[in-house]
Structure 1
Amino acid sequence: MIRAHRVRALSGFSVLIFGAIVFIFPALWMISASLQDNSQILRFPPSLWPHPFTIEGYVDGFNVLPFGRYFVNTFVIAAGSSIGGVISSSLAGFAFAKLRAKGKDVLFLCVLSGLMIPYAVIMIPQYLLFKELNWINTYYPLIVPAWLGLPFLIFLFRQFFAGIPNEVFEAARIDGCGYLGLYGRIGVPLAMPAVATAFLFHFQASWNDFLAPLIYINDNAKYTLSLGLAAFTSTCDCTPWNQLMAVSATVSVIPVMVFFGAQKYILQGITLSTK
């Protein structure tokens, strides 16, 4: 029995190690390519070890386009929309979980139905609406909608708040705490794992978004990093792969840092929100 258990454990670890290698290989190749010149990258057979080692891709890559400006633009959009999405969605999720109102379950189903609507369906109506508001070529279409609530985040918060015992809130109500007090003083502190999870999910989605900025942003000075990377290959006749990989590796640093900074809350938030 002990031997069979060890064989199963070894088999499981082998599968996990193989899967980890498969998933991490693209990142290793990106970092390796950023430290090579173009002739090395296109050489066959390819090599993961740069020879010679060079940082030319990083130096030249950030001089082709104003990626520093794109970085600031992307951070403003991602942070602004993520903060708004977490605040509005947590308020809605708390209301659906703890407030008593007729028809709230039907309304919650209507909110969840928003998850089934593809973005392509609402893309044109949204564009026409934002055009009437004179929001084209501004950051408002990329930030303001998140402040009105996001269906997935509302679902996440609703499930989390529903798992908090009602006795906790009833005790605060006896002491004279109102609904906003219940939300701000009790609900939010207890929901920090869900807050971190929701912020991370939306921040990464907003940071990597390409379609929405492509639709609404026309000015090069307002480009996001995704638009800058797309425009990178059009600045010359041939693609400087080492520069492209260097910029891509730098762009991915912030989402990775945010993930590792919030990872201790993520599994706890997902686990408690799905009960």
Structure 2
Amino acid sequence: MSMNGREKITNKKRLKPAKIVWQVIVYLLLITGAIVMLIPFFWMLSTSLKESFQVFSFPPKWIPDPIKWDNYVLTFNSLPFGKWLVNTVIITASTIVGTLLSCTIVAYGFARFRARGRNVLFLVMLATMMLPSAVTMIPVFYLFKSLGWINTFYPLIVPAFFGNAFFIFLLRQFYMSIPTELEDAAKIDGLGTVGILWRIIVPLTMPALTTVAIFQFNGAWNDFMGPLLYLSKPDLYTLALGINFFKSQNDVQWNYLMAASLVTMLPSLILFFVGQKYFIEGISLSGGIKG
């Protein structure tokens, strides 16, 4: 073996311990950060299982003694939690359907159709993302009020069927990365535009559509401002608005409030763990097109 080869092997052996040390440091930092982020969630869980007089005790007790599992039952019995949950599910599911349907169609049009003024319309759509919600809040409220939609779910559901600028942009970029040869082959087989969209494009863009659905779920499930503006009847409250109403009471029980908040937060956590691979892997066509 030449001297250069021996020097390279020696340098690799020297670098290996340094690389291991660096990896250990990175993992320790990640573990520390994860623990810091999980402390509020653990405190929420701990508080939800405590007696009322133990919530603000000092020094704080991280492990409740005794553990009061019936706090959750008392919370559901003292609040119309089931009604709020049904309202939230109706609004969230409807907005997900509306967003996926409208954004898919509009994004495909921007990505594939060649029409005069298409780019101008796309820029105008992107410009709407720069408008703060506070600017459009009052005009939109008066619009829905004139339609008689106050204290109904329509103001929270119908806008989703008219698209979302960010989601349209996201899906358009994804569609533009799909080779047009696939659509040409589908046209030869006799598929029309609608058939190509639903039988070719949509299956290939499931990672992007799933990402849009997850973002929309989190936005609708945790939405507070929309229900606050349009819903004033307690029977129509969503979970976010209902929990805030419960918190505003003078004799609020913080252990019950933490129990309700934890149950409200669980669907978002479950959805994140189920769909996290779409965030980690990113939006790509690596698994969609082969050969």
Same topology, TM > 0.5: yes
Task: Report the 3-state secondary structure (helix = DSSP H, G, I; strand = E; otherwise coil) of the residue aligned with 2:191.
Answer: coil
State the match for 2:38 in structure 1: 24
State the match for 1:214 in structure 2: 228
State the match for 1:38 in structure 2: 52
One of 175, 180, 189 as aligned partner of 2:203: 189
CA drift at 1:268 = 4.0
CA drift at 1:271 = 5.1
**Separation of aligned partners in 2, 1:99 and 1:181:** 15
Task: Report the 3-state secondary structure (helix = DSSP H, G, I; strand = E; otherwise coil) of the residue aligned with 1:141.
Answer: helix
Report whether the alignment pairs 1:72 with 2:86. yes
> Could you tell me which amino acid in structure 1 is paired with residue 125 of structure 2?
V
Structure 1 residues 224-275: Cα deviation after superposition (integer angstroms, max 9, x where no partner): 001110111234x332110000011111112222222323334445456xxx
State the match for 1:245 in structure 2: 258
Contact 1:37 1:242 in 2 (8 A): yes
Structure 1 residues 110-155: Cα deviation after superposition (integer angstroms, max 9, x where no partner): 1111211111111000011001111110000000001000011101
Q: Structure 2 length as normaliser, TM-score? A: 0.89
Task: Report the 3-state secondary structure (helix = DSSP H, G, I; strand = E; otherwise coil) of the residue aligned with 2:248.
Answer: helix
Report whether the alignment pairs 1:11 with 2:40. no
State the identity %.
46
> Could you tell me which amino acid in structure 1 is paired with residue 45 of structure 2?
I
> Could you tell me which amino acid in structure 1 is paired with residue 101 of structure 2?
I
> Could you tell me which amino acid in structure 2 is paired with residue 263 of structure 1?
Q
State the match for 2:193 in structure 1: 179
> Could you tell me which amino acid in structure 1 is paired with residue 142 of structure 2?
L
Contact 1:37 1:56 in 2 (8 A): no
**Separation of aligned partners in 2, 1:105 and 1:205:** 28
Listed as ranges, the gaps of 5+ residues in structure 1 are none
Residue 269 and residue 178 in structure 1: after superposition, are their counterparts in 2 closer, same or farther (change >3 A)? farther
Q: Aligned pairs, how many?
A: 271
Structure 1 residues 62-100: Cα deviation after superposition (integer angstroms, max 9, x where no partner): 122201100000010011011100110011111111121
Report whether the alignment pairs 1:62 with 2:113. no
Structure of greater Rg: 2
One of 67, 73, 77 as aligned partner of 1:53: 67
Report whether the alignment pairs 1:257 with 2:282. no
One of 182, 186, 196 as aligned partner of 1:168: 182
Contact 1:200 1:258 in 2 (8 A): yes
One of 150, 175, 180 as aligned partner of 1:136: 150
Alignment of 1:193-204 (within 5 A): 193-204=207-218
Query: Which stretch shifts more, 262-271 or 52-61?
Result: 262-271
Task: Report the 3-state secondary structure (helix = DSSP H, G, I; strand = E; otherwise coil) of the residue aligned with 1:252.
Answer: helix
**Separation of aligned partners in 1, 2:163 and 2:23:** 44
Contact 1:193 1:268 in 2 (8 A): no
Query: Which stretch shifts more, 99-108 or 129-138?
Result: 99-108
> Could you tell me which amino acid in structure 1 is paired with residue 35 of structure 2?
I
> Could you tell me which amino acid in structure 1 is paired with residue 251 of structure 2?
C
State the match for 1:81 in structure 2: 95
Report whether the alignment pairs 1:224 with 2:224. no
Query: Which stretch shifts more, 214-223 or 249-258?
Result: 249-258
